[in-house]
Structure 1
Amino acid sequence: MEKTKPIKRHVALQPLSRQHHFGLLFSWKLRKGFHKNIETKRLQQYAKWFFKHEIEPHFKDEEKYLFPILEADNELIERALKEHRRLKRLFNNTKDPERSLHQLEEELDAHIRFEERVLFNEIQKVATEAQLKKIEEIHSNLEETPEYDDPFWE
């Protein structure tokens, strides 16, 4: 089996990649919750908390500071924005929460892997030093997310 080399991420993009790591952990925690038959309402509360503290600010930062580095009609940006809209709907869907959470767990994972392996690499290739410096300044003093108070996944 061929090993993929780790991606060398520019220091300015590392905070966003770290946030992606937390998104992958979120998906893992949902999977653990489903495996342990945790009540859907508890999983839903966690998803609501995670959206507010992690996803919503992360999407805003990507859309405001990172995506404009590529052209607005770039197919990768169009895909990322489409996936952002889809993920927001899944996070906020209350009609069939169990189904939405299952879809969310899978789709968020796939979205993060797309951004890390494809989109961020393209942005990193074309970004100017000034653009990267601006992104680095914006993310240099990110507040730490508070701990979630119901670790159902343990």
Structure 2
Amino acid sequence: YTDWYFHHHIQPHFSLEEQHLFPILGEDHPLVKRAMAQHRRLKRLFTDEYEFKRNLSRIEDELESHIRFEERVLFQEIQAQISKSQTELPEILHRELPYEENMSDPFWE
């Protein structure tokens, strides 16, 4: 289930942020660098097949910390820098990622 969730939700979400939101501040901005480092760490945790059980707990901690950082710090800075013509961009990005669930996964049995 975590593999499915990573490929259907986490990875597309990261890609949209990296392509559309982070360029507003620029790749050299310290907050963007921090977010990119967090994305890389989370990708490694989701894709490491050898430490899976240990990584589940780490994924929970890292993802919670990452979401808090984005909501409270990074997105506030992006919002402050965004032009009036770009103010709908975050809303548009979230509309492009409809949420779907995979209740048929054996995880739920």
Could you tell me the TM-score, scaled by structure 2's length?
0.86
Can you list the C-alpha shifts for 1:101-123, whole angstroms capped at 9, x where unaligned? 11111111101100000000000
**Amino acid across the alignment from 1:86:** R
Which of residues 49, 52, 62 is equivalent to 1:94? Answer: 49
Tell me what 1:6 maps to. Answer: none
* Corresponding residue of 2:108: 151
Gaps of 5+ in 2: none
Q: CA deviation at 1:147?
A: 3.6
Provide Cα deviations, 1:93-152, integer angstroms capped at 9, x if missing partner: 111111111111111110110000000000011101222334544544543313433436
* Structure having the higher Rg: 1
Higher relative contact order (CA 8 A, sep 6+): 1
| RMSD between aligned residues | 1.8
Q: Secondary structure at the match of 1:61?
A: helix
AA matched with 2:57: H
Q: 2:71 aligns with which of 98, 107, 116?
A: 116
Could you say what secondary structure the match of 1:89 adopts?
helix
User: Percentage identity across aligned positions?
Assistant: 46
Partner residue of 1:79 out of 34, 55, 66: 34
Within a 5 Å distance, the mapping from 1:1-154 to structure 2 comes to 46-149=1-104, 150-151=107-108
* Mapped partners of 1:108, 1:57: distance in 2: 15
In structure 2, C-alpha distance between the alignment counterparts of 1:110 and 1:61, rounded to whole Å: 19
SS of alignment partner, residue 14 of structure 2: helix
Aligned mates of 1:123, 1:70 — CA distance in 2: 7
Aligned length: 107
Instruction: Give the unaligned 5+ runs of structure 1.
Output: 1-45
Q: Using the alignment, how far apart are the partners of 2:83 and 2:13 within structure 1? A: 21
Q: TM-score, normalised by structure 1?
A: 0.63
